[in-house]
Amino acid sequence: MSAKKKKVFAFEKKPIAIAGRECLTLCNQIAAGMNKIYKYQLGAEICKCGSELVSAIYLALDDMGYSQQKENDIKIINRKIMNLIVVVRVARDINQVSQSIFEMIINKIVSIKTQTENWLSFIQHENEKQQGEEPCK
């Protein structure tokens, strides 16, 4: 098996990647259960936001090491989380999401948010350490 394939498979085992895919599955379940009047706009938007969140997670995972770019990639995940929360909340407010699925997706989003915050804190700490170790010029 090539190193590239091992890298991709390793990403799929990360808890944040698993939670992201589970969240996307819930987005698709929500959209599938919507009334026709909402399915093709709000449902599509929920699926789009879920896909963008998973994509942002994978892009951040792909950025190896510690860098300002990695910090920025992780911050993008937080923006994608907020976008998803808004559209899911709207769907719940117009009774297009059952309470049980709403709770499941919110729990997944909170899990991703917690993991993202911890990840960002770790990367920022490592970046600060690296900056402190750079010799003066």
Among 60, 62, 108, 66, smallest CA distance to 84 is for 108
Looking up tokens 């948010």 gives 113
Its domain, for residue 117, covers 40-124
3-state secondary structure of 36: helix
| Model confidence band, residue 45 (pLDDT cutoffs 50, 70, 90) | very high
Tell whether 9 is covered by a domain: no
* Amino acid 63: pLDDT: 83
With cut-offs at 50, 70 and 90, classify the pLDDT of residue 130. Answer: confident
Give the model's pLDDT for residue 12: 77
Are 113 and 78 contacting, i.e. CB atoms less than 8 angstroms apart? yes
pLDDT on residue 6: 59
pLDDT band at residue 137 using 50, 70 and 90 as cut-offs: very low
CA quadruple 121, 108, 12, 32: dihedral, nearest 10: -140
Kindly state the average pLDDT of the residues 102-115: 97
> Residue 74 has what pLDDT?
96
Q: With 60 as the cut, is the pLDDT of residue 135 above it?
A: no
57 belongs to a structural domain: yes
- pLDDT over threshold 60, residue 7: no
Identify whether 23 is part of a domain.
no
- Burial level of 18, CB count in 10 A (0-12/13-18/19+)? middle
How many whole angstroms separate alpha carbon 133 and alpha carbon 57? Answer: 29
In a domain, 32, yes or no: no
Q: Is residue 117 part of a domain?
A: yes
Q: Taking all residues of the chain, what is their mean pLDDT, rounded to a whole number?
A: 90
Q: How far apart (Å, rounded) are the C-alpha atoms in residues 115 and 136?
A: 34
What pTM does this model have?
0.87
| Residue 130 belongs to some domain of the structure | no
Binned at pLDDT 50, 70 and 90, residue 125 comes out as very high
In a domain, 19, yes or no: no
Asked if the structure places residue 87 within a domain, the reply is yes
Based on the structure, what is the number of domains in the chain? 1
Half-sphere exposure of 41 (CA within 13 A, CB side): 4
